[in-house]
Amino acid sequence: MADITAGGPQERFDFGRVVGQTFSLIGRNFVLFFVLALLFVGVPQFGLLYAQSYMTQTQGLGGLWQVALMGVVVMMVSAFVLQGSLTRAAVDDLSGSGVKFGAALGDGFRYFFPLLIVGILVTLGIYIGLVLLIIPGIILALRWSITAPVVVIERDGPTRSMGRSAELTEGHRWAIFGLFLLYLIAAWIMQIVVGAVFGALGVARGSPVIGLSTFGLVFMGVSAAVQALITLISTVGTAALYFELRRVKEGVGVEQIASVFD
């Protein structure tokens, strides 16, 4: 894993600034950001959980894999729209121009196809790398970690955006690895807490957590909302990471970055 930190940083990467900027962005725009996350992640997640429960109760496990596959495709498509929307919204907020729902949503759809192609290429590359003793997959994930913001903000093609992401992350990949590990642990804790709380309530009520009962539907709704929140944090966090790397590597501020949307 020696090349993970290749190329010394020109300026200190501030881990805390990325985390702070992530939650500041979310805090200032929580309603708008969370509504977008619910729309593009929460609703598809709830639909998937509902369809899985319905198929299990009415048809057994026979058609479950088709439902799961369709759900994954829908969620992947909607997640790319969210990624483009939140990246644009984050730029507008930090530049002081104000977040505009229409502009954010418009960029989400405008950059859907480039983001989709990037998502496919990055996912395939990381998967192949993980098969090859795991470590190459981790290195590739770190190299390409800010490809999505590059697509939206710098308007490069998919392969050039992947190369640009590798260029910006060079020299800071241990810090990025620690940042992503922090997000993963936080997401894991949130999911464990929700599962434990509803599991305990289900035992106390004698109601199964999974099912089409009122209790089961509430569990699905809360799980979908938590997944939307996790995706919101990771997506805005990726945009904040991009801003930090542009500052550190190139001395570029958010106002300059935002000028591409003028």
The mean of the pLDDT values for the chain is 86
| From 61-70, 105-114, 232-241, the region with the lowest mean pLDDT | 61-70
Contacts (Cβ under 8 Å, ≥6 apart) of 117: 158
Q: Is residue 150 part of a domain?
A: yes
Q: Is residue 5 part of a domain?
A: no
Q: Is residue 246 part of a domain?
A: yes
Q: Is residue 28 part of a domain?
A: yes
Mean pLDDT value of segment 57-73: 68
- Tens of pLDDT, residue by residue over 126-145, are 989 888 878 889 999 999 99
**pLDDT the model gives residue 40:** 93
Q: Is residue 218 part of a domain?
A: yes
Whether residue 213 is predicted with pLDDT greater than 80 in this model: the reply is no
Q: Which domain holds residue 115?
A: 12-261
Q: Is residue 90 part of a domain?
A: yes
- Tens of pLDDT, residue by residue over 69-120, are 777 777 778 888 999 999 999 999 988 888 888 989 999 999 999 999 998 8
Residue of higher predicted confidence among 11 and 225: 225
Q: Is residue 4 part of a domain?
A: no
**pLDDT the model gives residue 64:** 66
Q: Is residue 2 part of a domain?
A: no
Mean pLDDT value of segment 133-161: 92
pTM higher than 0.85 for the full model? yes
28: confidence class by pLDDT, cuts 50, 70, 90: very high
Residue of higher predicted confidence among 216 and 36: 36
**pLDDT the model gives residue 61:** 59
Tally of domains in the chain: 1
Of 102, 104, 61, 60, which is closest to residue 83 (Cα–Cα)?
A: 104
